Amino acid sequence: MTRAAAAILAALCLLPVAASPAAAAAPKTSLPDIEDEVMCPICGTLLELSDSPQAEREVAFIRRRIAAGQTKSQIKDALVAEYGDQVLALPRGSGFDLSAYLVPIAGFLIAAVALAVAVLRWRRRGAASRAPAAGPTEGPEAERLEADIARYDL
């Protein structure tokens, strides 16, 4: 009896471990998780903000696929197959669409470098303008300066 109880306990402990790989392979998704990442193509707005007849059909399409156990990625692929890439609220992170992410980053970096160069130049100009003007080092002016320093015993 004790052995049987221990075996059942051990089996119960192992159940979540056995189930976890399957769960990881097919993560559950939900309608709110998808409808803020896809568009209602006719309305030109996010699906979550749309209540048009076309949006209702699209929501029903997503619900059916969630019920069938499909992942978010599979459902989005199915939507793209139906409506084309324009159904995605965000461009895909590959191919030409990758430029939608890279161009702003490149623009930011270029602007940062340009700003840094401009600041450095302004600082150099400011330092140059604050530097004392070179005094006379020779000639009558220099002689008069030396005479004045000697007279006032500076």
Residues engaged in binding another protein (CB under 8 A): 41-42, 52-54, 56-58, 61, 81-86
The residue type of 135 is G
- Please tell me the distance from the alpha carbon of residue 150 to that of residue 154, in angstroms, as a whole number: 7
Least separation in angstroms between CB 55 and another protein: 9
- Residue 39 · residue 88 · CB < 8 Å: yes
If phi > 0 it is left, if psi is from -120 to 50 it is alpha, else beta; for residue 153 that is left
- Residue 47 · residue 58 · CB < 8 Å: yes
CA–CA distances in Å: residue 34 to residues 14, 90, 93: 33, 12, 17
Least separation in angstroms between CB 27 and another protein: 25
**Closer CB to another protein, 29 or 50, in the complex:** 50
- Please tell me the distance from the alpha carbon of residue 126 to that of residue 89, in angstroms, as a whole number: 49
- Please tell me the distance from the alpha carbon of residue 150 to that of residue 130, in angstroms, as a whole number: 29
